[in-house]
Amino acid sequence: MSIAENLAAIQHRIKEVKATRRPGEGPVELIAVSKQQPLEKIEAALVAGQRVFGENRVQEAKAKWPALRERYPDIELHLIGPLQTNKAKEAVKLFEVIQSVDREKLAKELAKVSEKMSEVRCQRYFIQVNVGEEEQKAGVLPKEADDFIAFCKQELKLPVAGLMCIPPADGPAFPYFALLHEMAKRHGLPHLSMGMSGDFEEAIAFGATHVRVGTGVFGTREPEA
C-alpha cells in the first residue's frame, strides 16, 4: 500500500472507533511519526494532505523540517521523545507541541527560555507519564504526576494542554490508557496522546485525542544513525 492509502485507512479506522465513543468527545488527531523515515516518504505524506508529524529527536527534526516548512507552512510538529535540558531552546523554536515534559528541571528551563525568546513556536505542552513505572522509560511517575502537573501549570504558568504515555510493551495497554484518561480529567486537561500503530484503536476507545502512528503510516524505519 502507498503512504496515501495507509493514511486513508488509518483515518477511516479512527473515524469508525471514534463513532463508538460518547458524542461530544472531540476530534482525534493523527500524528504521523516520521522519525528515521526518508524524505521521499515524508513528502508523500505531505502531498496526501497530512500536516501533523511527530519526531523524537531535536537534531533529526532540525535537519529535516525547516526546509519542508518553507513549502508547507501549515505543518504542526510534535516532539515525542525525551528532551535534554540544554536543547530546550532549540526545541521551543522547532516544535508546535512538546509532549515529553517529564521533570522539574526541564519544565523550569522551558518556562525560562520561552519567556526570554522572541521566536517561540511551542505554545502547548504535554506532560509525559511513565504509566508502567518502567526504569528504561522517561516520564513522571504516576504518584508524582498530580503535583508535577500542578507545579507546571500554577508555578511555571506553562501552557500544559495534555498528557502523554507509552505503556509497557508486554501485556494489555488499556489499564494504562484508562489511568491516563482519569488523570487528565482530574486536572481538566483536554488532550491525551496515547496509542501507536499497534494499539491506536484501543487508545481512542479510552479517550485519546492524539494518536502517534509511525510504521502504520510509513512502513519500517531505517536503523538509527
Ligand X SMILES: *Cc1c(COP(=O)(O)O)cnc(C)c1O
Q: How far is the CB of 175 from ligand X (least distance, A)?
A: 19
Piece of the chain touching ligand X by CB under 6 A; list 3-11, 64-72, 129-137, 210-218: 210-218
By CB under 6 A, what part of segment 74-103 binds ligand X?
80-81
Q: Is 196 in the site for ligand X (CB under 6 A)?
A: yes
| 35, 87, 89, 103: residue in contact with ligand X (rule CB under 6 A) | 35
Q: Is 214 in the site for ligand X (CB under 6 A)?
A: yes
Ranked by CB distance to ligand X, the top (closest) residue is: 214
Q: Is 197 in the site for ligand X (CB under 6 A)?
A: yes
| 61, 97, 166, 189: residue in contact with ligand X (rule CB under 6 A) | 166
Residue at grid coordinates 488509518: 10
Piece of the chain touching ligand X by CB under 6 A; list 20-28, 71-79, 108-116, 209-217: 209-217
| Mutual angle of helices 3-18 and 39-47, in 10-degree steps | 60
How far is it, in rounded angstroms, from Cα 155 to Cα 45?
Answer: 39
- What is the phi/psi pair of residue 183, to 5°? -60, -45
Contact residues: ligand X, CB under 6 A: 33, 35, 56, 80-81, 166, 196-197, 212-216
